[in-house]
Amino acid sequence: MILLVDIGNTRVKWATQVDGRLSPQRAAGYAQWSAVDWQRELFDGPPVERVLAATVAGGDSRRALEVAARQAGTPHVDFVASTAVLAGVRNAYPDPGLLGVDRWVALIGAFHRAHGACCVVDVGTAATLDAVDASGQHLGGFIVPGPRLMVRSLHAGTSNLAAFTAASPAGGTHLFADNTRDAIERGCRVALAALVDRTCEELARRTHSAPRVYLHRWGGGRMLPYVLATYERVPDLVLRGLARIVDASLER
């Protein structure tokens, strides 16, 4: 059994791969975890032969996973790095290591799910969009503030919008807002949704295709009603990418 682990800044997601089949994703916040907690939560099934992980977090969680693996009888954890080429996908960055490993592995998962051109959207504190063509060439992407960070930046960077927001009533139902709270919050969601649609249009123009759009995370879902492109939610896209990396290593 192979354990696949996606360590974010506050949450860890994991799944197992047995005979090429991926189990359902599990997830939890790990802020207060010790190595004992990592072992109890992630290594609670049959013996793990191999651990493959992608992490954007600091060294503490990485070391805790390594200790937990050793205690569970798995002597080594392999951590994926962003490289020039991996599992059939080619990195657009001149310095491949500067592409976040979560974006890189999600792209690999998306490309092999789409079997063609696709766009990956990840909306958290920051929002990232990445495009790949039908040959597996990563075309690059965008990083912008997520909706909540957009709102906070407007409140922090202006003299009276925060006060006007506090005095505004609960949100209405029309697209065009009639109060400050909705004008800011809905405007930020529409702006991000428009970026998703614009990215998809450009990818379709470049590839002469109808690219698939995958939403990895979606910031609570409030931007989704404003996205015009057809999309699919795939919350375990990084784990799917890790599974594909395992498959590629076995094919060599």
Q: Give the pLDDT band of residue 184 (cuts 50, 70, 90).
A: confident
| Residues facing 2 on adjacent strands | 17, 50
- What is the pTM assigned to this prediction? 0.91
Asked if pLDDT for residue 217 goes beyond 90, the answer is no
CB contact burial 101-123 (16+ within 10 A = b; e otherwise): bbbbbbbbbbbbbbebbbbbbbb
149's tokens:
């960070």
In CATH, what class is 2-79?
alpha beta
Q: Give the pLDDT band of residue 159 (cuts 50, 70, 90).
A: confident
Looking at residue 53, its pLDDT comes to 96
Asked if pLDDT for residue 58 goes beyond 70, the answer is yes
Catalytic-labelled residue, pool 102, 133, 182, 236: 102
**Four-point Cα dihedral 202, 206, 209, 213, nearest 10:** -40
What is the sign, positive or negative, of the torsion defined by CA atoms of 96, 5, 61, 69? negative
144's tokens:
């912008």
Task: Render pLDDT for 17-53 as a digit per residue (tens, 0 to 9).
Answer: 998 899 999 999 999 898 899 999 999 888 999 999 9
Asked if pLDDT for residue 171 goes beyond 70, the answer is no
| 102 in active site | yes
